[in-house]
Each structure stands twice: as C-alpha cells, then as structure tokens.
Structure 1
Amino acid sequence: MILRARVNARLREGNAAASDTIRVDGFSFSFARMEFSKNNMPIELSKTEQKLLRILLENKGQVLPRVQLVDSVWTNGAEYVDENALSVTIKRLRDKLEDTPSSPEYIKTIYGIGYTWAVK
C-alpha cells in the first residue's frame, strides 16, 4: 500500500514537471527540473535569471515595467535594489539566449517602460 502511494506520488511529480516545460522556437525551459536548453544544448541560468525569465515567459507579449520586474524578482526582503541589477540580469539572459545579444529577438527593451518577451 505504501509502495503504491510512493509510486503514484512520483508519477504525479513527473507529470507536473513535464507540464511545467515551456517550448519556444528551439528553446526548452523546465523550471521544475531547472533544465534549460537551446537547440538541445544546455544553458546554465542563475536563480535570478530563472525568476526573470519565468516572469517574461508567463507574460509573453506584454510590456512589463522595470519597477514591476524588480519587485517580482528581488522579493527576498532587500530594502533597496538598484535598477541597474535588472539591466545586468537582462544583459546576462540575452548573452545566454540570443543569437545576437546586441540585436535581441526574444527579450525586447521597450524604452522608457520596461521589457517584454517578444511573441514567437
């Protein structure tokens, strides 16, 4: 009886992880398993990069203001986070995800407002 319950729990975990995978173009992002790849090549992402990427993907096509992104990503109780931290994290994500980081296709800057994951 206990073994059956454990097997069923593992199966549910596996299904949850599979449904948590987001596929866009050649990307595969599994936040549950913390596995990220582009064209089947693994991508190493920091926890902060993962949080930011997930927010962008969950709001695909929507412009997210810089303040909202800072509040959403750096929620660990820090009293003050410089907005430059967001710019640096965006740059690191672009360097890892974009073919040409200086001319991004996916993470677009909306000048004076914030960022968006371009719909593909």
Structure 2
Amino acid sequence: MNPKVMIVEDDAKISNLIKLYLERDSYKTLQAYDGIEAQELYLRHAPCLIILDLMLPGISGEEFCLWVKSVETPEDPAVIMLSAKARTQEKINGLKLGADDYMTKPFSPEELMAHVEAVLRRTGRLCQKIAHEGLVIKPRKGEVWLDGEEIELTSYEFNLLYLLVESPGQVFSREQLIDHIHPRSDAEIFPRTIDAHVKKLRRKIEEHPGQPKRIVTVRGMGYKFVGK
C-alpha cells in the first residue's frame, strides 16, 4: 500500500507542486491549507507523514505539530517542517517540538522527495495500515481505531473486517468468509455464524448499525466494504 502524505501549506502553488512530485513517486496525498482543516484531515485519514508549513492562518505550524504529538492516535506520523524560517534556532525549536526533519524555503522538490524517503526509512514508518473515514486498521499490531479511539474486536471480527476493507467494493460470499476466518475448524460452520459476526462488528464500527454504510449486505450474494 502506498504511503499517505498530508501537505499542510497555505500557498496553493507550493502545495500543488509538492503534491505533483509526491504522486509522481506513487505517494497518496491529502492537502490542507490551514491548521483547522489539517486537524480534521489528520483524524479522518491517518497519514503516515506530514509536510508542514509553519506560517499558517489560524493555527500555526508549531501549534499543529504540538497537537499532533499530543493527540491519541494509532501511530505518530513523521513530520517534515518546511518553512521560510531559516535561522538555526528556529530549526532547533522545530525539532524540539517533535519534527523529524526541517527544510527551508525556497527548496528543491527533488531534495524534498529525498528527505521524504529518508524520514520514512529512518523512522521505520512503513505505513502498514488501512484508513478510511476515521476507521484505521493496523494489521501488524492487530489494532482497529475509530475516530481516534481504539476499539476491541475478537480475532474473528478483526479478520473479517480486514478482509473486507483490504478489497473495498468486492463482494464476498458467506462461504468465502467462512473459509477465511475459520480456515482450520473441524466443526461445521454455518452461514448464520458469519451473519452474527457481521452484526456484532457493525455495532462497533457503524454509526447506525441498522443502516450500515461501511459493511453492506449484497442481497443473495454476501457482504462488501464500501469505501476507497
């Protein structure tokens, strides 16, 4: 899965230039033009890297960085500060706030991409997670977070959710789901068992379990996850 990078920059030309180079290197991108918008995007999409301008309207880049490091989320993102503030002390202050790297403007896009790769490699953030509309799945840790809070799932519920989310839009029959979450069971597993797992899972991840928007029933076929 390609890493997701959030660009927090109030200058649209600079933001679009960074976006162009990131997407050229197969990164997924989010763009925010002020600190408030950045907070909302961060909580909903869980980027693994933030490229952060410091002189933002509303909430400053420094304030946003402190907020990111204090809010409880599945995993702290890497932060590259990108600023016209070029004095040594300002760089030191940025790093003390929790930034992983600091670059000054004007900058070379090629050099920025090299810093992006180096930071992700150095911090060990491989972005092995799936995020959609506030729902974050950490396969390697076996964790699921919803709107910034970890939720408890059984192993069956986790495996079911992960299979569906990993292939959004694909319809899985109940028999396929049984084979996936009960692969070595000697006991006979009935389709209604899958329905029970789905019902419990919906109670935990759907705002309105009776009218699910994430895990949808496809009549006569099975279930699918709606999302990108």
Given the two structures, how large is their TM-score scaled by the length of structure 2?
A: 0.44
Match of 2:140 in 1: 32
Q: Distance in 1 between matches of 2:177 and 2:148?
A: 28
> Which of the numbers 155, 161, 166 marks the counterpart of 1:58?
166
SS in 2 for 1:37: strand
Amino acid at match of 2:212: P
Query: What per-residue deviation string (whole Å, max 9, x for no partner) do you get for residues 39-83 of structure 1?
Result: 101110100001101110111111111111111111023241011
After the TM superposition, which parts of structure 1 deviate over 3 Å for at least 4 consecutive aligned residues?
none
Query: What per-residue deviation string (whole Å, max 9, x for no partner) do you get for residues 12-56 of structure 1?
Result: 9x847x432111111111021122111101110100001101110
SS in 2 for 1:68: helix
Match of 1:103 in 2: 211
Given the two structures, how large is their TM-score scaled by the length of structure 1?
A: 0.81
**How many residues matched?**
107
Q: Distance in 1 between matches of 2:124 and 2:204?
A: 28
Match of 1:5 in 2: none
Structure 1 gap ranges (5+): 1-11
Amino acid at match of 1:70: I
Overall identity of the aligned pairs, in % = 30
SS in 2 for 1:64: coil
SS in 1 for 2:163: helix
> Which of the numbers 201, 222, 226 marks the counterpart of 1:93?
201
Contact 2:169 2:224 in 1 (8 A): yes
Q: Answer yes or no: is 1:73 the counterpart of 2:173.
A: no
Highest RCO, 1 vs 2 (Cα 8 Å, sep ≥ 6): 1
Q: Distance in 1 between matches of 2:136 and 2:124?
A: 16
